[in-house]
Structure 1
Amino acid sequence: MHINEQSKIEINGKPQYISIRAQKDNLPLLLYLHGGPGDSALPLVLKYNRELEEHFTVVVWEQRGAGKSYYDFKNDEITIDMFLEDIYSLSKLLTKKFNQKKIYLLGHSWGAVLGLKFTEKHPEMVIKYIGCGQVVNMKKSCQAAYDFALDHANEKEAERLKKINCSYNDNGWLKDLLYVTKQVVKNKGSLYGKRNYNSLITPFIFSKYYSIMDLYNRQKGSLQSIEYLWQELMDINFENQRSFKILVIFIEGRYDNHVSSALAKKYFDTIESEKEFYWFERSCHFPQWSENDKFNDLIIKLLD
């Protein structure tokens, strides 16, 4: 029986949007954690990763404050731990609903911060963890992205970049961060072969699940999440975490200069527990969408 449930449910006191899709009953649960913070992904997963629904019950969660789960953060003390609590509550709800013991967890970028942290904290709930565009050490990653931008800058851009403190802890940090990111994207360091994100925006505009208000909220939610969470995100560093209780898998775009894949590989080599690493040779930060067929095939092969 085909499953297609699109709904808002309350998770830890906040209404949050969940998409649950599968081609038949009793398929293992796969929870997708989108990037950002605040960068919802439902229309992209539906466009590029639909094949996964033949093998998994695919759950795409629009995290608190993101996309169709947008709300104003101003009265909340927003922390990374809140998102981990949300994942815990959601996972419990899903495993109960579908009568399963554990989930497959797939995290991209910011979602890979949440995913790896959750895997550390609750290995009993995860079958396998898949990190895509894995963040390892955020300060080092930001430095690498900045260096890439500077290496590809013209004179005027270099002048602007040289005024930027890429630890992003001074007054104009948000503008600086957005400028560096724009330079990385423009120089094909983020989306393989492209100088902009237009192809990642179009599926949202044409999605039957996204209204005009949702599109507007998506923009607001993305900026708000960065504002509230970036300073805590800058302290993320997994380098001393060398062992996990379950299999961890990293999927990395060879040319990712947005979140350094070179750093991810370096860290991966230090992990002493069960692990697998896959390079995607025609990808930067988005292998799941740049090489979606290869990505989908790999995820399906990871099934026990």
Structure 2
Amino acid sequence: MLLYLHGGPGDAALPLVLKFNRELEKHFTVVVWEQRGAGKSYYRFGDEQPSIDTFLQDLYALVSALLARFEQRDLYLVGHSWGSVLGLRFVQEHPELVRVYVGCGQVVNMKKSCREAYGYALSHAEGKARERLRRIDCGYPDTGDGWLEDLLFVTGQVVKHKGSLYGRTNYNELIKPFLGCRYYSPLDLLRRQKGSLQAIRCLWQELMQTDFEGQTHYGAPVIFAEGRHDSHVSSELAKRYFDSIETEKRFVWFEKSCHFPQWRESEKFNALIIGLLA
């Protein structure tokens, strides 16, 4: 059994997994979780806004239900970006339920990674874009008026200058699968957009406190699958952290990827996951 944790927060990914990772279904029971408030699970958070712990509780409930239903003791867990925060936290708390954890676009220290992303954007931007970046505090502010707009602007600059999706200046390649997916109605597409913005507003301040650097032991094997050119969530930072881990581990570079190796080099990624069964 393989459970996929999407990024974001709130960035539902079912159509992308269906398009690029369908080969995995020949070898695994694949579960793609659209997390609370995201995609087909969209709802307005209201006054009771969830925390990271809320999502970890959801994840534990889901894993427990899946293992019971399919009579398994553990499962393979893949976490991408925001999903890698949930994934590595889950391995910390419930290693007995994880056969192997695969982190993709792995978040290690969110503040350090965001500073590096900002530096990448600033070093490539010109003209008015560069001027605006200079007015943004550390690149990824989480307080004050207009922080969300500034955050999205910095991310947009990283994307524009090919630091997020390898060889591309936009996400069109990752949008098209949603438009042709029979599981997504036009209303679902609208809900996905709403869910993404809602989750960022709700969770970003807490997400910025994420720091795994003091954790060097895990009770389950960990694999990092990283795009060599990822400036969205620093893969160099992930590699330095990986080198400090003292338990069973493996690191795989994807040479023609940035933040999305599971979709930019899907054949290699799928082979990596299938190879875990050997």
TM-score (norm 2): 0.98
Q: Shift of the alpha carbon at 1:303? A: 1.8
Aligned to 2:83: 111
Aligned residue in 2 for 1:272: 246
- Secondary structure in structure 2 of the residue aligned to 1:73: coil
CA displacement at 1:102 relative to structure 2: 0.6
Q: Which runs of 5+ in 2 are unaligned?
A: none
One of 152, 159, 164 as aligned partner of 1:178: 152
Post-superposition offset of 1:78: 1.2
1:300 aligns with 2:270: no
Deviation at 1:41, TM superposition (A): 0.3
Among 63, 69, 84, the residue aligned to 2:41: 69
Paired letter, 1:228:
C
Q: What is the CA deviation profile of residues 20-55 of structure 1, one whole-angstrom value per residue up to 9, with x for unaligned ones?
A: xxxxxxxxx100000000000000000000000011
C-alpha distance in structure 1 between counterparts of 2:274 and 2:141, whole Å = 39
Is 2:212 the counterpart of 1:238? yes
One-letter amino acid matched to 2:141: Y
Per-residue CA deviations over 1:92-129 (Å, capped at 9, x if unaligned) read: 10011101111110000000000000000000110010
The within-5 A match list for 1:27-106 is 29-106=1-78
| 1:168 aligned residue | 141
Question: What pairs with 1:113-128 in structure 2 (closer than 5 Å)?
Answer: 113-128=85-100
2:140 touches 2:150 (CA, 8 Å); kept in 1?
Answer: no
Deviation at 1:256, TM superposition (A): 0.2
CA distance in 1: counterparts of 2:182 and 2:134, whole angstroms? 43
How many residues get paired? Answer: 276
How many angstroms does 1:167 deviate by?
A: 4.6
User: What is the alpha-carbon distance in structure 1 between the residues aligned to residue 155 and residue 10 of structure 2?
Assistant: 15
After TM superposition, list the pairs within 5 Å mapping 1:146-295 onto structure 2.
Answer: 146-165=118-137, 166-171=139-144, 172-295=146-269
Contact preservation (8 Å) 1:38, 1:226: yes
Any idea what SS the aligned residue of 2:32 has?
A: strand
Which structure has the highest strand share of the two? 1
Structure 1 CA distance for aligned equivalents of residues 103 and 143 of structure 2: 30
| Aligned counterparts of 1:60 and 1:154: Cα–Cα separation in 2 | 39
Q: Which has the higher contact order (CA 8 A, sep 6+)?
A: 2
CA contact under 8 A between 2:229 and 2:258: conserved in structure 1?
yes
Write the distance in 2 (CA, Å) between the matches of 1:122 and 1:260. 26
- The answer to whether residue 111 in structure 2 is matched with residue 139 in structure 1 is yes
Q: Which residue of 2 aligns with 1:23?
A: none
Asked whether the equivalents of residues 108 and 131 of structure 1 are also in contact (C-alpha less than 8 Å), the reply is yes
Q: Distance in 1 between matches of 2:19 and 2:56?
A: 27
SS at 1:174 equivalent: helix
Gaps of 5+ in 1: 1-28
Deviation at 1:169, TM superposition (A): 2.9
Contact 1:68 1:214 in 2 (8 A): yes
| Contact map agreement 2:142 2:204 (CA 8 A) in 1 | no
Identity %: 64
Offset, 1:75: 2.6
Distance in 2, Cα, partners of 1:131 & 1:167: 23
Runs of 4+ with deviation above 3 angstroms? none
Which structure dedicates a bigger proportion of its chain to helix? 2
Q: Superposed, which structure 2 residues align to 1:1-12 within 5 Å?
A: none
